[in-house]
Amino acid sequence: RDPEEDEPPQSPRSEVLCSLHSEKFKLFCLEDKKLICVVCQTSKKHKNHNCSPIDEAAQEQKEDLQTAVNSLKEKLGVFSKISQTCAEHILSQAQHTEGQIKGQFEKLHQFLREEEAARIAELKEEEEHKNRVMKEKIEEMSREISSLANTIRFLEEELKAEDISFLQNYESTMERAQWKLPDPMLVSGVLINVAKYLGNLQFRVWEKMHEIVKYTPVILNPNTSQPHLILSDDLTSVRHRDEDSINDSDETLQLPDNPERFDTFRMVLGSEGFNSGTHNWDIEVGDNTHWSLGVMTESVQRKGEVKNGYWQIRFTGGKYDTHSPSGSDTLLTVRQKPLRIRVQLDWDGGKLSFSDPDNKTVLHTFTHTFTEKVFPFCLNGCKLHPVRILPVKACVTVEKPNETFLQETSIRGLTVNNDNDVEFFDEEDDYEDKDEEDDYEDEDVYDYDEDDYKDEEDDYEDKDEEDDEDMI
């Protein structure tokens, strides 16, 4: 038996030879990161390079690789955490939003149920009233019916009497036959006023619904809110979290660091941007001691310090100032502290104005040619008081067709239908609209002479005859 058969097989490393010198690899060139043999080490290519024995080099390189693996594991953990946080936040958002939707619709359902119950109760009350009136009328008619029936029976008996007896009683009998009571008639208005309950029912309910429905011109976007801020359920108010009861590891602060979200400045954007038209909204600041309001371009970098791309009016340290991308901060002189600020944006006209609507005072106006979409924003640096977007008054109106047009079309036998229209406007606009309505009502569109109307109708008839003759 060959003793060599009992020797363990050689390792793959000992079998790998240098392709240039057919020598075993024993060294590792630290410069070129390659295995070399002892002949290679003395060659011109590696003569001045640092080299290590294979075992030492392998250990060092494994340590470097392990460091890289650990770094990748950390990144994997970060990716997993971000993915998990985002997925959990999406689930939380969906569940919370669904609850809010159900809550809002429950308010509408409750309003409709109450309206339905009120109208049915009113209908039942009218039904009972009309039944009482009808019952009284029927009782009165029953007495008259009984008296009339007795009279008829008496007269029929007289008709059967002998001639002499009949003629003797004829005068009194005929007098009794003359029924002096009026013919029975139903009481006017005794039937249910169906039109009162069904006429434009849906519109009337919708018209009344505006008492509970609010319209806010700017809705805040929670996906842009800095993590230390809390938005109200209706997304119109922003306040600080109670920092005494939270810390950076609190679950409430574990929000996804999405690109839209501010991470440093405690601000939030409106959900809708504007790249045309005119827009205005009121913001209640009240006793807030540190706030900033205005508009911001869509392309602003939202991570870190926001340095440019916004127009604002700010109140901090008891002073008011403004900022725009094209100039430095400007200190404002405000005589009376405003409780709310009105922001008016004319994108096409290139104007952004801030005013105090209560005192009717313009605080500052920017002029700028806007070239991209801008979003409303709010910054709340006060821990005690919120900043709130105020709703505007909503009103349902019906657009009426021109009355003169109705007169002309009625002659031709045409029918004109009214189109319903819904219009939102500020409370200050109510007076202007009222003046226009008064002017419209003063127009004398209903008064016209009946003879003139007859002549006008004859003119149409003559015109039709002329047209017939022309056609022949």
Pair (256, 340) in one structural domain: yes
Pair (422, 457) in one structural domain: yes
Beta bridge partners of 310: 296
Pair (135, 196) in one structural domain: yes
Pair (233, 382) in one structural domain: yes
Pair (343, 448) in one structural domain: no
The H-or-E segment that residue 422 falls in is strand 419-424
Pair (384, 404) in one structural domain: no
Pair (236, 314) in one structural domain: yes
Three-state DSSP class for residue 64: helix
Convert the pLDDT of each residue in 160-202 to its tens digit: 888 888 888 888 888 888 876 666 666 678 888 999 999 999 9
Convert the pLDDT of each residue in 216-261 to its tens digit: 999 999 999 999 999 999 999 999 886 544 554 454 557 888 889 9
Query: How many Cβ atoms from other residues are within 10 Å of residue 209's Cβ?
Result: 15
Q: What is the pLDDT of residue 266?
A: 92
Predicted TM-score (pTM) above 0.85 = no
Strand 278-284, strand 340-346: pairing: antiparallel
Pair (438, 369) in one structural domain: no
Structure tokens, 402: 């021109």
Pair (134, 205) in one structural domain: yes
CATH number assigned to the domain comprising residue 297: 2.60.120.920
Q: What is the pLDDT of residue 367?
A: 93
Domain that holds residue 98: 60-181+192-209
Pair (400, 384) in one structural domain: no
Question: Among the three residues 389, 420, 450, which one is the final residue of a domain in this structure?
Answer: 389
Q: What is the pLDDT of residue 314?
A: 94
Measure the CA–CA gap between 433 and 143, rounded to whole angstroms: 60
Structure tokens, 197: 């309950």
Does the residue 187 lie in any domain? no
Q: What is the pLDDT of residue 462?
A: 52
Tell me 446's DSSP state: S
Pair (368, 414) in one structural domain: no
What's the number of domains the chain is made of?
Answer: 3
Q: What is the pLDDT of residue 332?
A: 93
Structure tokens, 391: 């709703």
Structure tokens, 37: 């043999």
Does the residue 52 lie in any domain? no
Contact call for residues 431 and 439 (beta carbons, < 8 A): no
Low-confidence ranges of the chain (pLDDT < 50): 1-14, 244-245, 248-249, 251, 411, 413-454, 456-457, 460-461, 463-472
Does the residue 17 lie in any domain? no
User: What is the amino acid identity at position 357?
Assistant: P
Does the residue 165 lie in any domain? yes
Q: What is the pLDDT of residue 429?
A: 44
Q: What is the pLDDT of residue 437?
A: 43
Question: Among the three residues 332, 364, 389, which one is the final residue of a domain in this structure?
Answer: 389
Measure the CA–CA gap between 208 and 124, rounded to whole angstroms: 21
Three-state DSSP class for residue 20: coil
Does the residue 231 lie in any domain? yes
Pair (231, 252) in one structural domain: yes
Q: What is the pLDDT of residue 247?
A: 52
Does the residue 1 lie in any domain? no
Does the residue 40 lie in any domain? no
Measure the CA–CA gap between 293 and 273, rounded to whole angstroms: 15
Q: Within a 13 Å sphere around the CA of 157, how many CA atoms are in the beta-carbon half? A: 8
Three-state DSSP class for residue 140: helix
Q: What is the pLDDT of residue 273?
A: 95
Does the residue 453 lie in any domain? yes
Write the burial class of residue 139 (CB in 10 Å: 0-12 exposed, 13-18 middle, 19+ buried). exposed
Angle between helix axes 54-159 and 201-209 (nearest 10 degrees) is 130
Question: Among the three residues 360, 389, 418, which one is the final residue of a domain in this structure?
Answer: 389
